[in-house]
Amino acid sequence: MEIYTTHPRRAELWEKHRTRLEEARTAWHKRTYWYAYPEDQRAYPEAAAAQGEGDFKAQLGRPFDRLRQPARRWLISDEVSPYTREPLGLSYPQTEVSEAIEAAREALAVWRWVPWSERIGLLMESVERFSHRFFEVAHATMHTTGQAWMMAFQASGPHAADRAVEALAVAYEELSHIPEKVRWEKDLGRTRAVVDKYFSPQPEGISLHIGVSTFPVWNVLPGLYASLAVGSPVLIKPHPRAIYPIAVVVAILQELLAEYDLPPTIVQLIVDSVAAPVTRQLAEHPYVRIIDYTGGSEFGAYLESLSGKVTFLEKAGVNSVLIESVEDLGAVAKNLAFSASLYSGQMCTAPQNVYIPKEGVRTATGMLSYAEVAQVLQQAIEELAGHPKAAPAILGALQNDSVAERIHTLEAQVQVRRSAAAYAHPQYPQARTLTPIVAELSGADAPAAHTEHFGPRLLLVPVESARVGLEALYQIAREKGMLSCAIYTADPEFKREAACLLAEAAVPVSFNFQGQVFINQSVAFSDFHGTGGNPAGNASFVDASFIVKRFRWVGVRDCLAG
């Protein structure tokens, strides 16, 4: 019996990308430095940058007509550039939820029976084609999210593509564990049992991906590629203010699928507006069985409460820093100032609370008092925020007005050492900018320390001692969760104790990050992004669980003799 049918052209894609995929799988195992796509834009063909910019400019103010999915009307999007404050003027085909589900069901019936090797080959090819569009997507990302150019290029380009390849590598690992067919034979004495066994990975059902406005590609690609690899069609519901970047990816996939005789509706873009969202309607649909989501904790809890769904959630946490002892406080302060300022603190991994012992901090040149430590940290923020080149390159712009509102609300609750204030962007005078607030809390119990204040902020939290600070970190980890956590210590015993304690709370600690190594960054093929085990989220990019929860092995036995 042949359960799967081979498609020669798709099988060629598998052969084309197989070696690369095996390298990626090996990298995932080894976890040393490796990448599939270079993060340096100079590594790409010289013409690509101009081409990408041209494509971006040509797309502005026009319908996005690259998609291949049924739609009866066009939606003019809510996308507005945080730099120019002008609407991008794009419109997208708006597929009805019921039509999208129906198309996805039909796509599921086909896609689940494409051999996984052919699926993964085709998906590797799609990432390769996406790499030719990194520059256009970078511009689209910059002008929807407010990210500065460099981050927009790296996060929505090579770093996202690497996470996609990583998801495919882990899917390859897991899917290749079990053979497609095997003959099982057992001597029964007088007779011999012969049973042909077939194993097929079957997806849970249709996937929904709910995008976020700040990282419209990076946070989508792991789940998108994980679901597609296991045979689940994906409905992508981007944030209404950040559609363009991921629409490019969907268009590439749809074109490729059609080229290889498959329904382009294996991936669909479902657009909505801020005024008329469709996310709940999609999430609650009984045929939607897998949900990937990045965003606020409240909506995340709602998604988790839906019965019959497998969810992969990245929610909010309260990322924290503890300074026990340092070699060079100036260097540490610079590093932390960068981490807190990067993309105006709109990263899920940006630090918020900095716990500092009241008794002061030991350094290579002697003890520094609490006040001195606070002053050095504040000074580092001042310098970065006031630097005419660094500020725009690092801070970028705020995605939307509510970020600034939140930070201003915070100002009313804390003792402000440095007010959040706009900086003047040299190229974009209209840019929505805000440099970090630096504030001081009364102590670890202060309510402001127990809430995420998403945006540019650094909250200094005095604690009796480093040990009390460690306990406070553990409590916050259990209560609110963290996506990142930094501890500075020169004491090996304290380090080991902190690593173990926080590992028990499923929080990944970064010790003594300095220079150009920042806690915001998690690197594909080496770092897991999130652990999935603390309140900040229930998933991790990309562990085995991120793949295997999406499908089930189904065995078929055919008895030839018994």
**Among residue numbers 369 through 428, which ones bind a copy of itself (CB under 8 A)?**
none
> H or E segment at 368?
strand 366-368
Smallest separation (angstroms) from a copy of itself to the CB of 183: 7
Mapped onto helix, strand or coil, the DSSP state of residue 342 is helix
User: Binding mask 90-129 vs a copy of itself (x if CB under 8 A, - otherwise)?
Assistant: -------------------x--xx----------------
Q: How many chain residues bind a copy of itself (CB under 8 A)?
A: 79
* Contacts to a copy of itself from residues 267-306, by CB under 8 A: 304-305
Q: How many whole angstroms separate alpha carbon 98 and alpha carbon 162?
A: 33
Tokens at residue 179, please?
A: 């053979």
Tokens at residue 169, please?
A: 């590598």
Torsion of the alpha carbons at 280, 282, 286 and 290, rounded to the nearest 10: -100
Q: Is 85 in the site for a copy of itself (CB under 8 A)?
A: no
Q: Is 504 in the site for a copy of itself (CB under 8 A)?
A: yes
Residue 327, burial from CB neighbour count under 10 angstroms (0-12, 13-18, 19+): middle
Tokens at residue 230, please?
A: 């296991």
If you ran DSSP here, which 8-state letter would residue 455 be given?
S
Smallest separation (angstroms) from a copy of itself to the CB of 305: 8
* Contacts to a copy of itself from residues 178-207, by CB under 8 A: 178-179, 182-186, 188, 191, 193, 195, 197-200, 202, 204
Tokens at residue 110, please?
A: 């086909």
CB-nearer residue toward a copy of itself: 213 or 540: 540
CB-nearer residue toward a copy of itself: 194 or 416: 194
* Contacts to a copy of itself from residues 38-67, by CB under 8 A: none
Tokens at residue 356, please?
A: 């500092």
CB-nearer residue toward a copy of itself: 29 or 57: 29
CB-nearer residue toward a copy of itself: 407 or 487: 487
Mapped onto helix, strand or coil, the DSSP state of residue 127 is helix
Give the pairing type, strands 310-314 and 457-463.
Answer: unpaired
Smallest separation (angstroms) from a copy of itself to the CB of 253: 23
Residue tagged 């074109």 (tokens): 255
Stretch that binds a copy of itself, among 69-77, 114-122, 439-447, 514-522 (CB under 8 A): 514-522
Smallest separation (angstroms) from a copy of itself to the CB of 495: 6
DSSP string computed for 74-94: EEE---B-TTT--B---EEEE
CB 236 within 8 A of CB 268: yes
Q: Is 499 in the site for a copy of itself (CB under 8 A)?
A: yes
Smallest separation (angstroms) from a copy of itself to the CB of 555: 5
User: Binding mask 301-330 vs a copy of itself (x if CB under 8 A, - otherwise)?
Assistant: ---xx-x-----------------------
> H or E segment at 303?
helix 297-305
Q: Is 474 in the site for a copy of itself (CB under 8 A)?
A: no
Smallest separation (angstroms) from a copy of itself to the CB of 225: 18
